[in-house]
Amino acid sequence: MSRVACFIALAGLALTAAGGAASAQEQVDLAFQFTPGEVMDYDLTMSGSGELRAPDGELAAMGLQGSLRLKVTVAEVLPDGNARLQVLVPNADLRLTIGSQSARLVYANGRVRWYADGREQAPPEADINQVPLLGVPLELVVSPRGQMLDVVLPDIADLAGMEKMAPGLGAPQLKDLGDPLFPDHPVAVGETWRRSIQVTPFGPTMPLTVTSSRTLDSYTEQGGIGLARISGYTDARLRASAMPVGPADSGMALSVPEMRERITSTEFFNPTAGRLVRAHYALSFVTNMSFSGGNEGQQEVGVEARLNATIQAR
């Protein structure tokens, strides 16, 4: 009888656990839900390190640490189901070191405080009310599947000057650049979805290849609330042959023989509410650029950096 009792107890525990976890065959619909006027707050913390190679070949260590608050408001839900989001940073505290030099920026209550090598300085002259993300919200158009469809900058006219400085570059085309976080169909636990595209946000001379892969690792449901764990990576590679930069008579040209970035991610998503709960991202970035022409001959610079970031819904 004791063996029978043990079997019944174990079976009961197994059934209880099964009630809180999705089987590999269960289909989970992963999609954001947007409500006009909804406000979502996230805390973002980050830390990173790297090396900067100057034109003379000297290496300088770099470091970045900080945190900031993101306030995301659903300004409008469009007829096609996409949403126009407004993103603001109500406060931030960022610290940057390059070699022996350090800088710190603190932003709160509409005020910027600036520190250089530990001493407070007069902040850079700028009208905070006109600075994107701080005084003016950055507007994004995002689909329910998590694809960034458009970025609306507060003063796009200023970016037009890029084309005068770099005719081969032009102003960025910030449309359809984002990779959808979720596929357009329900997925099963263990299922992987991949995507590879080539876009030209900076013009035809600078093609950007983006490859991504994500997997629904697990799905649990307790009390009618679901939680999906999604892991993945995104690779981005960019190359550019020599293109003119600066005034037309300067003879200056820019080449980017190598620029690559990889982001590995672990995201926790609540499909019941259509909301990201928290996520961790690890980024590695390598770039080498060379400038030629003018009186300086050819100069090369490079950056290699690693960054960890965690975002948590409030």
Q: Could you tell me the residue range of the domain that residue 245 belongs to?
A: 22-313
What's the CA dihedral at 255, 294, 169, 62 to 10 degrees? 60
Q: What CATH number did the domain enclosing 118 receive? A: 2.30.230
* DSSP-assigned letter for residue 130: G
pLDDT given at position 154:
61
Position 248 in a domain = yes
CA gap 29, 67 in Å, rounded: 32
What's the pTM?
Answer: 0.79
Position 13 in a domain = no
* Identity of the amino acid at 243: M
Q: Cα angle vertex 129, ends 128, 135, to 5°?
A: 85
**Tokens 């043990």 — which residue?**
6
Q: Tokens in use for 82?
A: 């996409």
Give the bridge partners for 121, in sequence order: 114
Give the bridge partners for 237, in sequence order: 209, 260
CA gap 115, 104 in Å, rounded: 5
| C-beta separation of 188 from 220 below 8 A | no
Contacts of 102 (CB under 8 A, 6+ apart): 95, 96, 115, 116, 117, 118
pLDDT given at position 170:
47
288: left (phi over 0), alpha (psi -120 to 50) or beta: beta
Contacts of 291 (CB under 8 A, 6+ apart): 245, 252, 253, 254, 298, 299, 300, 301
Q: Is 101 helix (H, G, I), strand (E, B) or coil?
A: strand
Give the bridge partners for 312, in sequence order: 43, 278
What is the mean pLDDT, run by run of 10 residues, along the chain of 314 residues? 40 41 70 96 97 85 96 96 95 95 92 91 74 86 92 59 49 59 94 87 74 96 93 89 66 79 96 96 91 71 93 95
Q: Give the tens place of pLDDT for each residue, 20-35.
A: 444 445 799 999 999 9
pLDDT given at position 23:
47
| C-beta separation of 170 from 160 below 8 A | no
* DSSP-assigned letter for residue 129: G
Q: Give the tens place of pLDDT for each residue, 138-187.
A: 899 999 999 988 887 665 445 455 455 444 444 455 555 567 889 999 99
Q: Cα angle vertex 178, ends 172, 184, to 5°?
A: 150
Position 8 in a domain = no
Position 299 in a domain = yes
pLDDT given at position 226:
94
CA gap 292, 255 in Å, rounded: 8
Position 114 in a domain = yes
pLDDT given at position 164:
52
Q: Cα angle vertex 273, ends 272, 276, to 5°?
A: 105
295: left (phi over 0), alpha (psi -120 to 50) or beta: alpha
Pairing of strands 59-77, 101-108: unpaired
Position 4 in a domain = no
Position 279 in a domain = yes
pLDDT given at position 77:
97
CA gap 163, 232 in Å, rounded: 35
| C-beta separation of 27 from 188 below 8 A | yes
Q: Count how many domains the chain has.
A: 1
* Identity of the amino acid at 248: A
CA gap 201, 69 in Å, rounded: 28
